[in-house]
Structure 1
Amino acid sequence: MKSIKILAVAALCTLAFSCNKKEENKVDQTQGLDYAQASAISDSLATQEAVNPDDAALVKEAQSKPLTTIAFSETDHSFGDIKKGEKVEHIYEVTNTGTNPLIISNVKPGCGCTVPDYTKEPILPGKKGKITLHFDSTNFDGTVHKAADVFVNVEKAPVKLTFSANVLP
């Protein structure tokens, strides 16, 4: 029984500290699949990873502000073919479609290969802001699907932004 507990702890540690390996496994699981199938796998993995007490605190913080509504120019982007090691970015435009100021309290990417940048000041009703996701393809090969959770003061937070790329050697 003791050895099972030790193995479980070792497995959890390995999962916690293996971002690149985890991402490689995601790539392997989506190789040869069509977009819908690959997206379903990526979403399932992202949902499993989102069970985190820190995320619950971020949602609570975002929803503690008066709620509003949001519209995105898009929530999914494809970079298409990019070269291994290339650093790319995409800007997701957000519009406050509600009556209260929109506050982006945090943007949490699924991995360290993705770095967010976003409008920090409140976005007034009818105004626009932006969320930029920067992706470093250095540690990837083939089709890659990434996601970032956006914690905002809307009813159904977090909002998920996704992108994909085909990393060529």
Structure 2
Amino acid sequence: MKKIIMVTMLMMAMVTTAFAQKQAKIVFDKTTWNFGTFPESKVQTCTFTFKNEGDAPLIINQAVASCGCTVPTYTKKPIAPGETGTMKVTYNGKGKFEGHFKKSITVRTNGTPEVVRLYVEGDMTVND
């Protein structure tokens, strides 16, 4: 009976170890950026910084904005554990309606979480 219990415990330990694979973990310094009030003629940019807090290389597979007026560019190379990367977001409101806006950028990674949403917002005024 002791042998059966011992074998069962050993098998459970092996299965647990097999499922405990290394994984990347993305953590952004902030997920929302507010540009404040600005004129239509001024293109806005901001940079989100992220860190890989996991124990495997982090890869950003895709970053897609909710509108063509918002363009994300990001670190393309794998980010080693403990290292940081950047996501630069440019907003060009030329020809858009004045007033408050809030745009999203959907980031897809190989880590946890697999999907992160970043937001840029502000209040755009029409040029005089």
The partner residue of 1:127 within 80, 83, 91 is 83
Greater helix share, structure number = 1
CA drift of 1:93 comes to: 0.3
Greater strand share, structure number = 2
Alignment deviations for residues 24-69 of structure 1 (CA, whole Å, 9 cap, x no partner): xxxxxxxxxxxxxxxxxxxxxxxxxxxxxxxxxxxxxxxxxx6311
The 5 A counterparts of 1:1-169 are: 67-138=23-94, 139-169=96-126
Compare relative contact order (CA 8 Å, sep 6+) and give the higher one, 1 or 2.
2
| Letter in structure 2 aligned against 1:132 | K
SS in 2 for 1:86: coil
- The match for 2:7 is none
Which 4+ residue blocks in structure 1 deviate beyond 3 angstroms?
Answer: none
Alignment deviations for residues 4-30 of structure 1 (CA, whole Å, 9 cap, x no partner): xxxxxxxxxxxxxxxxxxxxxxxxxxx
Count residues in correspondence.
Answer: 104
The question of whether the paired residues in 2 share the 8 Å contact of 1:68 and 1:98 is answered with yes
Identity of aligned residues (%): 31
CA drift of 1:84 comes to: 1.1
Q: Distance in 2 between matches of 1:157 and 1:99?
A: 15
Structure 2: any 5+ residue segments left out of the alignment? 1-21
**Cα RMSD over matched residues?**
1.2
| Letter in structure 1 aligned against 2:83 | K
TM-score (normalised: structure 2): 0.77
Larger radius of gyration, structure 1 or 2? 2
The question of whether the paired residues in 1 share the 8 Å contact of 2:52 and 2:81 is answered with yes
| Letter in structure 2 aligned against 1:152 | T
Q: Distance in 2 between matches of 1:134 and 1:67?
A: 30
| Letter in structure 1 aligned against 2:47 | I
SS in 2 for 1:105: strand
Structure 1: any 5+ residue segments left out of the alignment? 1-65
TM-score (normalised: structure 1): 0.59
